[in-house]
């Protein structure tokens, strides 16, 4: 009897596994399940670095991702913009990705235009848009911003934008925040901005899960802090919302934690299936030997 059950489980139709994974993802989404997040030191380091900024400081937000990575990275971008807006710093948006301009506009719409209508374009924030050239863009603007950015994304001459006056290069920024999906992205900002000017550039970043392991060696010397995937987004989101939003936050400021729900349940299911599969294998092996 026992051997019969083991054999049935070992030969279970794989469609049941697919169905269980579907339910593991769908149920938390449908029920809106959220789990408490305990921020790691990496998220705390990122939060503290933004937190130390003073009103009027300059922050470059390089949103180097496109819609294909929006699921992981837009919650990070939203939290970064919210934090910067709360700190009343001047925000300079740009992207090295051809598909990045809509991501900048999305972040501005979600946070600034919706909850900070008092912020004035050209005085409190500016969209410099996309320039082709990959890491070549960084190599130029690290010493001469105007060589590439003569106008903003709207076509306005940069010299006519109040917050751009007196900014000669990105060395004039008090903090560089990068949200990166790959190449060009965080590694290139480390190599061509932070490394040549270690005392002038302060850099924090949020990246996709596949990038994070390759970038941890840069922490903390080149990267003060690093957010990895939706988990890092949820941790940073928890810190920002916990300090600056009283009561129930808007859904847009809970996206990281909301997306962690199905991921957590799906990962637990995967661990269970791996353990169950190995257990059945060893039980079958022991029966065969005996």
219 CB-near residues (< 8 Å, 6+ apart): 42, 225, 226
Work out the pLDDT band at 7, boundaries 50, 70, 90: confident
- The architecture that CATH gives domain 41-253 is 3-Layer(aba) Sandwich (3.40)
Q: What is the mean pLDDT of residues 112-117?
A: 97
CA-CA-CA-CA torsion for 101, 102, 107, 113, nearest 10 degrees? 100
Strands 203-207 and 175-180: parallel
Give residue-wise pLDDT tens across range 193-206: 999 999 999 999 99
pLDDT at 289: 62
Give residue-wise pLDDT tens across range 142-159: 999 999 999 999 999 999
Work out the pLDDT band at 5, boundaries 50, 70, 90: confident
Domain ranges in the chain?
2-33+264-289, 41-253
Give residue-wise pLDDT tens across range 231-263: 999 999 999 999 999 988 999 999 999 988 888
pLDDT at 34: 79
CA distances from 209 to 38, 69, 136, 257 (A): 18, 10, 25, 16
| pTM to 2 decimal places | 0.90
Summary mean pLDDT of the chain: 93
């Amino acid at each position: 009897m026992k051997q019969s059950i083991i054999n049935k489980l070992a030969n279970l139709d794989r469609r049941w596994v697919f169905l269980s994974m579907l339910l593991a993802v769908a149920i938390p989404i449908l029920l809106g399940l959220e789990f408490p997040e305990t921020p790691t030191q990496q998220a705390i380091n990122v939060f503290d670095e933004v937190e130390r900024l003073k009103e009027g400081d300059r922050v470059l937000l390089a949103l180097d991702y496109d819609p294909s990575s929006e699921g992981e990275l837009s919650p990070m971008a939203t939290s970064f913009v919210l934090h910067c807006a709360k700190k009343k710093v001047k925000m300079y948006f740009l992207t090295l990705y051809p598909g990045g301009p809509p991501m900048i506009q999305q972040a501005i719409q979600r946070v600034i235009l919706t909850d900070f209508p008092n912020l004035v374009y050209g005085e409190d924030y500016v969209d410099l848009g996309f320039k082709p050239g990959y890491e070549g863009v960084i190599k130029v603007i690290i010493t001469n911003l105007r060589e590439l950015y003569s106008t903003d994304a709207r076509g306005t001459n940069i010299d006519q934008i109040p917050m751009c006056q007196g900014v000669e290069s990105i060395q004039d920024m008090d903090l560089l925040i990068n949200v990166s999906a790959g190449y060009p992205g965080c590694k290139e900002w480390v190599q061509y901005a932070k490394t040549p000017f270690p005392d002038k550039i302060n850099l924090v970043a949020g990246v996709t899960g596949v990038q994070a392991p390759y970038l941890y060696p840069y922490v903390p010397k080149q990267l003060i802090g690093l957010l990895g995937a939706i988990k890092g987004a949820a941790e940073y989101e928890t810190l920002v919302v916990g300090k600056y939003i009283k009561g129930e936050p808007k859904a847009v400021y809970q996206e990281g934690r909301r997306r962690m729900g199905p991921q957590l349940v799906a990962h637990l299911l995967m661990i269970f299936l791996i353990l169950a599969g190995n257990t059945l294998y060893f039980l079958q092996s022991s029966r065969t030997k005996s």
